[in-house]
Amino acid sequence: MPGNSFGQFFKITTWGESHGPALGVVIDGCPPLLPLDVSDIQQELDRRRPGKGGPASTTRKEPDKVEILSGVFEGKTTGTPISLLIWNKDAKSSSYDKLKNIFRPGHGDFTYLKKYGIRDHRGGGRASARETAARVAAGAVAQILLNQHNIEVIAYTVALANITIENRNLNEIYENRLFCPDNEAAKKMEQEIAKIRSQGDSAGGVVEVVAKGVPPGLGEPVFDKLDAEIAKALMSIGAVKGVEIGAGFKAASMLGSQNNDPISPKGFLSNNAGGILAGISNGEDIIARAAIKPIPSIAKEQDTINISGAPEKLVVGGRHDASAIPRIVPVCQAMMRLVLADHLLRQRAIAQ
Ligand X SMILES: Cc1cc2nc3c(=O)[nH]c(=O)nc-3n(C[C@H](O)[C@H](O)[C@H](O)COP(=O)(O)O)c2cc1C
- In the bound state with ligand X, the residue whose beta carbon lies nearer, of 205 and 275, is 205
Query: Min. distance of Cβ 267 from ligand X in angstroms?
Result: 35
Comparison of 14 and 58: residue with beta carbon closer to ligand X? 58
According to the binding rule CB under 6 A, does residue 328 interact with ligand X? yes
Contact, 85 vs 69, CB < 8 A? yes
Give the range of 2-10, 81-89, 157-165, 326-334 binding ligand X by CB under 6 A. 326-334
> Based on CB atoms, which residue is closest to ligand X, 289 or 320?
320
3-state secondary structure the chain: CCCCEECCCCEEEEEECCCCCEEEEEEECCCCCCECCHHHHHHHHHHHCCCCCHHHCCCCCCCCCEEEEECEECCEECCCCEEEEEECCCCCHHHHHHHCCECCCCCCHHHHHHHHCCCCCHHHHHHCCCHHHHHHHHHHHHHHHHHCCCCEEEEEEEEECCEECCCCCHHHHHHCCCCCCCHHHHHHHHHHHHHHHHCCCCCCEEEEEEEECCCCCCCECCCECHHHHHHHHHHCCCCEEEEEECCHHHHHHCCHHHHCCCEECCEECCCCCCCEECCEECCCCEEEEEEECCCCCCCCCEEEEECCCCEEEECCCCCCCCCCCCCHHHHHHHHHHHHHHHHHHHHHHHCC
Give the x/- contact pattern for ligand X in 124-153, rule: CB under 6 A.
x--xxx--x---------------------
For residue 203, which of 237, 242, 160 has the smallest C-alpha distance? 160
Q: What is the smallest separation between the CB atom of 129 and ligand X, expressed in angstroms?
A: 3
Minimum CB separation of residue 107 from ligand X in Å reads: 5
**Cβ-based neighbour number of residue 111 at 10 Å:** 12
Q: How far is the CB of 111 from ligand X (least distance, A)?
A: 8
Instruction: Please count the residues of this chain forming the interface with ligand X, following the rule CB under 6 A.
Output: 21
Residue from 238, 246, 274, 275 that binds ligand X (CB under 6 A)?
238
Assess 327 for contact with ligand X (CB under 6 A). yes
334 vs 340 by CB, closer to ligand X: 334
Q: Please identify which residue in 122, 289, 320, 337 interacts with ligand X, judged by CB under 6 A.
A: 320
Question: Scanning residues 280 to 299, which ones bind ligand X (CB under 6 A)?
Answer: 293, 295-297
* Least separation in angstroms between CB 96 and ligand X: 11
Considering only the stretches 144-152, 219-227, 271-279, 317-325, report the one whose residues sit in contact with ligand X under the rule CB under 6 A: 317-325
Least distance (Å) between residue 205 CB and ligand X: 12
First to last CA, the chain: 36
Least separation in angstroms between CB 242 and ligand X: 11
x/- site string to ligand X, residues 182 to 221, per CB under 6 A? ----------------------------------------
CB of 71 to ligand X, least distance (A): 26
How far from chain centre, in Å, is Cα 345? 22
Residues that bind ligand X in the complex, under the rule CB under 6 A: 58, 107-108, 124, 127-129, 132, 237-239, 293, 295-297, 320-321, 324, 327-328, 331
